Chain A
Amino acid sequence: MIVAVAGGKGGVGKSTVAVNLARELEAVVVDADLSASDLPRCDGPGGPGLHEVLAGRIDPVDAVDRIGSIRILSCGRTLAGARASDLSELHRTVRRLEREYDRVVVDCPAGLARDVGIALQCSDVAVLVATPNRPALVDAFRTRTLALDLETPIAALVLNRSKDGTGERLVDQVEETFETRVTVLAERSSIEDARRVGRPVRDVRPNAKALDAFERVARTVERCTRRRLGSYCRTEVSETSIANSRPSPSETAAGERPIFK
C-alpha cells in the first residue's frame, strides 16, 4: 500500500499528517520534497537520503532511518542533491520500500509541478491536507483534480488546524465538493509538541485526543486500499462514489438526506 499525502499549498501540515499517518499505519514515510524537506533526520543533514537514492547511489532500504517508532526515508535540502535526483526513479523507490515494509506514506511537496505528479502517480491512494480557508481548499481541489487525472483515487481529506469549529462548519460543504471523507484535526498543543521534537503524537502524548483523528484517517485509507488491491489498485473513482451515494429526493421523506458513511 502506497499512500500519498498531498495538498497543493505549503504549510498546511502535510508532513505532520504524513508522520502521524505513517505511525498509525506502521508504514515507512518518504519525504518526497526534494528541495524543502520537512521530515526529521536522525543523522543530521549529511546522511544519505532520498537525493542519494534517486541519484542511484544507495538502495532505498539502506537509506531508511528509524526515528523513535517510525521509519523514515528523509531527504536533504541541498541544491546539488535536488539536481542530481532522477525523479523518474521515485516509482521504483517506493515500490521497493513497499516490498520491504508493506506500507509506505509519501509526503508530497507543495505545488502542482511534476514532482507532485510523479509522487501521486506512484501511489495507490492519496490523502489531501488543507487548512479550513479558501486558498488552501482551492489548492487542495487542484491537487485532487491532478490525482484523479493520474488515476489515483482520493481516500480522505484532513482539514487541519481547525480553530473554534471552523473546520467542523465546513465539513458538509467540503465533503460534497471533494467527494471524499473529511476528518477535522483541531489545533492542539499535543500536535505542536510532537512536531517540535520530530515525533508522531502517539509517541509523545499517547492519550492525546488528536490520535482519534489520525486513527480515523488510517482506517479510511485501509478501507479504500483494500478495495483496490490486486490488479485493480488504481481507478479514477475511489470509494467516494459510494460514500456520496444518497437516495434521490423521491426515495426519502421530505427533508431527509441521509449520507452513508
Chain B
Amino acid sequence: MVELETETDRHDGVTLVSGVVFNSRTTAQTVRLESRVDGPTWLPRRGWTTVPEWNGDCWEAVVGSNRRRGFGFATPAEPVARPVEIVAVNRSTADERRDPDAVLAELEDHQPTRDVARPPGDR
C-alpha cells in the first residue's frame, strides 16, 4: 500500500504544503502525485532549477519498499483539505536511493583522537 500524509501552513498570504509518501509494499513503486489546490504550484528550487521530481502540478518519484519520501511546494491559494492526491502507482525496478543501513556500514570506524590515545601525563 502507498500512503500519503500532507500538512498545510499559511504564512503571509502563502500556503506551504508538505507531505510524505510511504510505500509499505514489498517492491519499489513509482508514485505520481498531483496538486489539488486551486492556484499555481510554486515549486521547490535548487539554485535556479526546480527539483527534478516536479513537473507542473505533478510530482513523480520512486519510493523504495518500506521507505518514505518527502515533498513540498508553495502556493498563494488557500489551504484545502486534500492539497495533494495520488494519481498513479506503478511497480518500479529502479530505486536509486541507498538503504540507510548500507550507508552506515560504509562509514569508517571512529578512532579516538590523539589526545585520548596518549597517557594523561603526556598531554
- A residues contacting B by CB (< 8 A) are 34-36, 77-79, 82-83, 87, 109, 111-118, 121, 146, 149-151, 153, 176, 179, 227-228, 230-232, 234-239, 241-248, 251, 260
Restricting to B68-86, which residues have a CB under 8 Å from any CB of A? Answer: 68-74
Q: Can you list 6 residue pairs at the A/B interface with Cβ under 8 Å?
A: A79-B116, A121-B104, A153-B70, A228-B20, A241-B72, A243-B16
**Which of B7, B100, B108, B111 lies in contact with A151, CB distance below 8 A?**
B100
> CA separation between A232 and B110, bound complex, in Å?
30
Residues in A whose Cβ lies below 8 Å from that of B45: 244-246
> In the complex the two chains form, is B42's CB within 8 Å of A245's CB?
yes
Interface string of B1-45 (1 = CB under 8 A from A): 000010100011010111010100000000000000000101111
Given contacts A118-B104, A235-B68, A248-B43, contact A242 B18 (CB under 8 A): yes
> In the complex the two chains form, is B115's CB within 8 Å of A227's CB?
no
> CA separation between A237 and B113, bound complex, in Å?
33
Residues in A whose Cβ lies below 8 Å from that of B11: 260
> In the complex the two chains form, is A241's CB within 8 Å of B44's CB?
yes
> In the complex the two chains form, is A246's CB within 8 Å of B116's CB?
no
Apart from the given pairs A82-B112, A117-B103, A260-B11, 11 other A-B contacts in the complex at a CB distance below 8 Å: A34-B110, A34-B112, A35-B111, A113-B107, A114-B107, A151-B100, A237-B71, A241-B18, A241-B51, A245-B72, A247-B40
> CA separation between A231 and B12, bound complex, in Å?
30
> In the complex the two chains form, is A237's CB within 8 Å of B69's CB?
yes
**Which of A109, A121, A146 lies in contact with B110, CB distance below 8 A?**
A109
> In the complex the two chains form, is B17's CB within 8 Å of A79's CB?
no
- Which of chain B's residues has its CB closest to A78's CB? B116
> In the complex the two chains form, is B43's CB within 8 Å of A237's CB?
no
> CA separation between A230 and B17, bound complex, in Å?
18
Interface string of B54-71 (1 = CB under 8 A from A): 000000000000001111
**Which of A232, A237, A251 lies in contact with B22, CB distance below 8 A?**
A232
> CA separation between A87 and B14, bound complex, in Å?
44
Residues in A whose Cβ lies below 8 Å from that of B22: 231-232
Interface size on B, residues (CB 8 A): 41
Interface string of B77-111 (1 = CB under 8 A from A): 00000000000000000000110100110011111
**Which of A77, A121, A246 lies in contact with B74, CB distance below 8 A?**
A246
> In the complex the two chains form, is B68's CB within 8 Å of A232's CB?
yes
- B residues contacting A by CB (< 8 A) are 5, 7, 11-12, 14, 16-18, 20, 22, 40, 42-47, 50-51, 68-74, 97-98, 100, 103-104, 107-113, 115-117
- Which of chain A's residues has its CB closest to B112's CB? A35
Residues in B whose Cβ lies below 8 Å from that of A247: 40, 42, 74
Residues in A whose Cβ lies below 8 Å from that of B68: 151, 232, 234-235
Residues in B whose Cβ lies below 8 Å from that of A244: 44-46
> In the complex the two chains form, is B104's CB within 8 Å of A35's CB?
no
> In the complex the two chains form, is A237's CB within 8 Å of B72's CB?
yes
B37 to chain A, nearest CB (A): 13
**Which of B72, B73, B109, B116 lies in contact with A77, CB distance below 8 A?**
B116
> In the complex the two chains form, is A113's CB within 8 Å of B100's CB?
no
Residues in B whose Cβ lies below 8 Å from that of A77: 115-116
> In the complex the two chains form, is B70's CB within 8 Å of A79's CB?
no
Residues in B whose Cβ lies below 8 Å from that of A236: 69-70, 97
Given contacts A232-B5, A247-B42, contact A238 B70 (CB under 8 A): yes
A154 to chain B, nearest CB (A): 12
> In the complex the two chains form, is B42's CB within 8 Å of A248's CB?
yes
Given contacts A237-B70, A237-B72, A251-B42, contact A245 B116 (CB under 8 A): no
